[in-house]
Amino acid sequence: MSAFGPWAEEGRWFRGNLHTHTTNSDGRLSPEDTIVLYKQAGYEFAAITDHDKFTDATALSDARFALLRGVEVSAPHPQKGPSYHILALGIDRELSQEERASAPQALAAVAEKGGIAFACHPYWSAHTINDLLPLEGILGIEVFNTTCQLEIGRGFSNVHWDEGLGLGRRWTAVAVDDFHGRGDHGGGWIVLKARKLSEKEILDSLRRGSFYSSRGPRILSLDVEGRTITVETSSVASIHFVCDDSLGHAVHAQPGRVISFARWEVHRNARYTRIECTDWLGKQAWSNPIFFE
């Protein structure tokens, strides 16, 4: 057995939120108060991503908490108006209107500045897979968005993720809060493996997909030998091996009991699998996909 992805890497696990708003856009708390809130909740990093405005909060970083620079970039959709929202991380200024005249232009500008990008809340934005496929250069999408789920019940975008993976996109996925200060913190996060707590190391880990996403459960180990996948988790009610088409598999706990281990040999026709585990409270954790050539 060989450990997969971040479970095979040296370093430490860090918990963080990548989508956060403050009073510099439509959030209710100042950058300072926002960071205090996340520190008190046990987080170790966060990205301030105000709407089309750069908030430099890096001075709030310390040895135990890292701040990522970022912006939530809006760009027009040819048919739907200003419906593209792009989570741009690792950039040090907002994009001009010219730079975000279209989503591809915005992504090119983010890449030129050395940043990385994820597509925000596809379900909330009423996007179909055809809306996402033209977004060349995104690392992935938000599989879960706390605010979108709390406000209108459209926080999950796992269907969009699987459609993209099935069509050959090698997308990772992040769970986020999209924090605005309305009781919407601590609902979704990523757990990332890095050698040290710094913006550079965190961005490098995001580029490698060295993280998993969660609303509660923990993925303790993930091993791959050929097509045999072995996963250990915290106590959960079910562990799903999600694949393209209808080729997946599930292991369920008996009523009133829990499981923390599953093993499965992935179907020979599957091109990818990803782990999705759910506890008895209905909270999920998601691994990034394992691809089979």
For 254, counting Cβ atoms within 10 Å of its Cβ (0-12 exposed, 13-18 middle, 19+ buried), the class is exposed
191: confidence class by pLDDT, cuts 50, 70, 90: very high
Claim to verify: residue 31 and residue 88 sit in the same structural domain: yes
- Final residue belonging to a domain, choices 214, 245, 261: 214
Owner of token pair 């913006």:
199
Tell whether 1 is covered by a domain: no
Claim to verify: residue 91 and residue 159 sit in the same structural domain: yes
- Predicted confidence at residue 27, as pLDDT, reads 97
Q: pLDDT, tens digit, for every residue of 21-59?
A: 999 999 999 999 999 999 999 999 999 999 999 999 999
What percent of the chain shows pLDDT beyond 90?
95
146: confidence class by pLDDT, cuts 50, 70, 90: very high
106: confidence class by pLDDT, cuts 50, 70, 90: very high
Claim to verify: residue 36 and residue 67 sit in the same structural domain: yes
- Predicted confidence at residue 211, as pLDDT, reads 98
This prediction has a pTM of: 0.97
- Final residue belonging to a domain, choices 214, 240, 262: 214
Tell whether 78 is covered by a domain: yes
Average confidence (pLDDT) over 286-293 = 95
- Predicted confidence at residue 290, as pLDDT, reads 98
Claim to verify: residue 40 and residue 179 sit in the same structural domain: yes
In CATH, what number is assigned to the domain containing residue 13? 3.20.20.140
- Final residue belonging to a domain, choices 214, 246, 263: 214
SS (H, E, C) the chain: CEECHHHHCCCEEEEEECCECCCCCCCCCCHHHHHHHHHHCCCCEEEECCECCCCCCHHHCECCEEEEEEEEEEEEECCCEEEEEEEEECCCCCCCCCCCCCHHHHHHHHHHCCCEEEECCCCCCCCCHHHHCCCCCCCEEEEEEHHHHHHHCCCECHHHHHHHHHCCCCCEEEEECCECCCCCCCCCEEEEEECCCCHHHHHHHHHHCCEEEECCCCEEEEEEECCEEEEEEEEECEEEEEECCCCCEEEECCCCCCEEEEEEECCCCCCEEEEEEECCCCCEEECCCEECC
Claim to verify: residue 223 and residue 210 sit in the same structural domain: no
Claim to verify: residue 192 and residue 104 sit in the same structural domain: yes
- On the question of pLDDT at 183 being above 70, the answer is yes
Domain range enclosing 230: 219-291
Claim to verify: residue 145 and residue 37 sit in the same structural domain: yes
In CATH, what number is assigned to the domain containing residue 263? 2.60.40
Tell whether 259 is covered by a domain: yes
- Predicted confidence at residue 21, as pLDDT, reads 98
How many separate domains does the chain show? 2
Tell whether 19 is covered by a domain: yes
Claim to verify: residue 104 and residue 239 sit in the same structural domain: no
Tell whether 2 is covered by a domain: no
- Predicted confidence at residue 86, as pLDDT, reads 98
- On the question of pLDDT at 82 being above 70, the answer is no
CA-based nearest residue to 157, from 180, 137, 138? 138
- Predicted confidence at residue 81, as pLDDT, reads 65
Tell whether 250 is covered by a domain: yes
Tell whether 52 is covered by a domain: yes
Tell whether 208 is covered by a domain: yes
- Predicted confidence at residue 1, as pLDDT, reads 63
Average confidence (pLDDT) over 268-293 = 97
